[in-house]
């Protein structure tokens, strides 16, 4: 059992650096479902326990704990979510390179397997840590708590948490982030926001990536924006191409504004 | 599928609470799941069957109440049945609404059998 938070039910582990193979730093064992049966022939009485308990309350508590840590150190934490292949990692690479004079960046990478993404991020000179969720389809606040303990982001920094590529499950799990940003790309179809509404509903900004491919795909940008605004009228939308750099300035401007707002509060 | 992970969270909470209460067995669990909570009932049923094996919930009956989504328009304040997150207000047609009900994911109660020693 983990002494920090009393955890003992997760299969995720953080990938250690500089090894050819992964050591499960924080490998949790499965539930122990065994329970003892009385052998002293007791009478049995029926009782109803009124719990009214949120199933995800433990995640919510740990998310608040992360949020408190980020607040205290004025770290701006962004949870980046999308389906696989929308260009999250490339968006990060470009952002980290273009803004390295402006911010001190840290990255937590979430994938089911491999540390390929963390390796790409480290190649930009940014401190990064990889979480492998195994069969898990999302990051949760508990995994992020332990990743942050190892990553040790400094005060006034910007922390990107790249979630597992999945537009459904990660929407339920608060990580303690300041903002959730959803990425979609023009190769995916303009109906994504209404097919997977929860993720667009819980995000504050949406990046529509790969705009350089617009001449080659049947993607209606106006329709996509309309669909996204139906699900979440407050959503900020950025149309970008991480390949050509088109539209990236608007995203950078928003990011700088958000960080400034947090750090001047 | 996150449904299995949700089932495992439910088992953890239920076993923990039942053991705290000194229960020998859990005979019934009652859940409230909002229809806007991203839980897919068929996937949830499937995950439940697999997930509860060898747990205190293996033999327990399950009552699952699916709660309808309810929204309130932020402009004209009309309350309406919300089946999707991109449903316009039936009065003014705006999409700017607040979710009042339908996001629940709760364990309402557990029926346990306690040991009483003579």
Residue A263, pLDDT score: 84
Which residue is closest to B74 within chain A, CA to CA?
A: A233
Average pLDDT on A199-222 reads 97
pLDDT in tens, B49-106: 999 999 999 999 999 999 999 999 999 999 999 999 999 999 999 999 999 999 999 9
Which residue is closest to A229 within chain B, CA to CA?
A: B95
Please give, rounded to a whole number of angstroms, the shortest distance from the CA of B49 to a CA of chain A.
15
Cβ contacts below 8 Å, chain A against chain B, sum to 126
Residue A45 binned pLDDT confidence (cut-offs 50, 70, 90) = confident
Nearest in space to A63 (alpha carbons), one of A127, A54, A84, B11: A54
Q: Do B96 and A19 touch, CB atoms closer than 8 A?
A: no
Nearest in space to A237 (alpha carbons), one of A193, A173, A188: A193
Residue A29 binned pLDDT confidence (cut-offs 50, 70, 90) = very low
Residue A80, pLDDT score: 97
Kindly report the average pLDDT of chain A as a whole number. Answer: 89
Residues of A with Cβ-Cβ distance to B12 under 8 angstroms? 9, 31
Q: Do B67 and B42 touch, CB atoms closer than 8 A?
A: no
Distance of CA A170 to the CA centre of its chain: 7
Which residue is closest to A193 within chain B, CA to CA?
A: B86
| CB-count burial class (<10 Å; 0-12, 13-18, 19+) for A123 | exposed
Percentage of chain A modeled with pLDDT above 70: 86
Is residue A243 predicted with pLDDT exceeding 70? yes
The reply to whether residue A201 touches residue B56, judged by beta carbons under 8 angstroms, is no
Best of A1, A36, A46, A49 to disrupt the B interface by mutation (most B CBs within 10 Å)?
A49
Q: Which A residues in the span 157-196 are in contact with B, Cβ-Cβ below 8 Å?
A: 168-169, 171-172, 193-194
Residues of B with Cβ-Cβ distance to A192 under 8 angstroms? none
Residues of B with Cβ-Cβ distance to A48 under 8 angstroms? 109-112
Stated as kind and residue range, the H or E segment containing B30 is: strand B23-34
Half-sphere exposure of A96 (CA within 13 A, CB side): 21
Residues of A with Cβ-Cβ distance to B19 under 8 angstroms? 35
Residue A236, pLDDT score: 97
Whether A29 contacts chain B with CB within 8 A: no
pTM of the model: 0.87
Whether B75 contacts chain A with CB within 8 A: no
Whether A54 contacts chain B with CB within 8 A: yes
Percentage of chain A modeled with pLDDT above 90: 79
Is residue A260 predicted with pLDDT exceeding 80? yes
State how far the Cα of A119 lies from the Cα of A136, in Å rounded to an integer. Answer: 21
pLDDT in tens, A134-165: 888 899 999 999 999 999 999 999 999 999 99
The reply to whether residue B118 touches residue A52, judged by beta carbons under 8 angstroms, is no
Interface confidence, given as ipTM, is: 0.89
Whether A24 contacts chain B with CB within 8 A: no
CATH assignment of B3-68+102-114, given 3.10.20.440, 3.30.2320.50, 1.10.3720.10, 3.10.20.30? 3.30.2320.50
Instruction: Give residue limits of the domains in chain B.
Output: 3-68+102-114
Residue A14, pLDDT score: 81
Is residue A104 predicted with pLDDT exceeding 70? yes
The reply to whether residue B107 touches residue A51, judged by beta carbons under 8 angstroms, is yes
Q: Considering CB atoms only, which of B11, B24, B56 is closest to A44?
A: B24
Residue A43 binned pLDDT confidence (cut-offs 50, 70, 90) = confident
Residue B114, pLDDT score: 85
Average pLDDT on B14-37 reads 96
Q: Do A200 and A170 touch, CB atoms closer than 8 A?
A: no
Is residue A27 predicted with pLDDT exceeding 60? no
Please give, rounded to a whole number of angstroms, the shortest distance from the CA of A37 to a CA of chain B.
6
Best of B29, B47, B115 to disrupt the A interface by mutation (most A CBs within 10 Å)?
B115
Residue A19, pLDDT score: 47
Q: Do A84 and A165 touch, CB atoms closer than 8 A?
A: yes
The reply to whether residue B117 touches residue A42, judged by beta carbons under 8 angstroms, is yes
The reply to whether residue B107 touches residue A38, judged by beta carbons under 8 angstroms, is no
Which are the contacts of B8, defined by CB distance < 8 A and separation ≥ 6? A9, A31, B51
Residue A9, pLDDT score: 47
Q: Considering CB atoms only, which of B9, B85, B118 is closest to A197?
A: B85
Best of A44, A55, A191 to disrupt the B interface by mutation (most B CBs within 10 Å)?
A55
Residue A21, pLDDT score: 43
pLDDT in tens, A62-75: 999 999 999 999 99
């Amino acid at each position: 059992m983990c002494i920090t938070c009393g955890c003992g039910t997760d299969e995720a582990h953080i990938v250690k650096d500089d090894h050819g193979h992964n050591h499960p730093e924080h490998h949790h064992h499965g539930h122990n479902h065994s329970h003892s049966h009385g052998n002293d022939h007791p009478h049995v009485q029926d009782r109803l326990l009124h719990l009214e308990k949120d199933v995800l309350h433990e995640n919510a508590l740990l998310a608040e704990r992360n949020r408190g840590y980020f607040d205290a150190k004025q770290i701006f934490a962004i949870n980046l979510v999308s389906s696989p292949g929308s260009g999250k990692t490339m968006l990060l690479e470009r952002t980290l390179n273009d803004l390295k004079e402006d911010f001190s960046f840290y990255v937590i990478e979430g994938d089911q397997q491999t540390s390929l993404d963390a390796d790409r991020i480290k190649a930009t000179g940014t401190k990064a840590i990889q979480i492998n969720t195994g069969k898990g389809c999302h990051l949760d606040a508990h995994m992020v708590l332990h990743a942050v303990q190892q990553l040790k982001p400094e005060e006034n920094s910007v922390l990107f948490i790249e979630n597992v590529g999945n537009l459904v499950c990660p929407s339920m799990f608060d990580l303690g982030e300041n903002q959730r940003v959803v990425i979609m790309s023009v190769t995916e179809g303009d109906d994504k926001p209404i097919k997977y509404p929860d993720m667009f509903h819980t995000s504050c900004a949406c990046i529509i990536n790969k705009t350089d491919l617009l001449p080659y795909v049947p993607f209606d940008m106006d329709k996509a924006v309309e669909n996204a605004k139906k699900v979440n009228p407050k959503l900020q939308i950025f149309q970008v191409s991480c390949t050509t750099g088109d539209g990236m300035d608007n995203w950078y401007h928003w990011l700088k504004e958000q960080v400034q707002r947090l750090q001047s509060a | 599928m996150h449904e299995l992970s949700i089932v495992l969270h439910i088992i953890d909470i239920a076993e923990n609470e039942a053991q705290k209460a000194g229960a020998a067995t859990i005979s019934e669990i009652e859940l409230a799941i909002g229809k806007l909570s991203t839980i897919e009932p068929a996937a949830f049923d499937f995950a439940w069957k697999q997930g509860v094996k060898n747990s205190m919930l293996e033999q327990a009956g399950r009552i699952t109440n699916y709660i309808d989504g309810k929204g309130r328009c932020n402009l004209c304040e009309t309350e309406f049945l919300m089946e999707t997150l991109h449903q316009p207000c039936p009065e003014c047609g705006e999409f700017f609404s607040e979710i009042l009900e339908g996001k629940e994911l709760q364990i309402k109660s557990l029926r346990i059998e306690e040991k009483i020693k003579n």
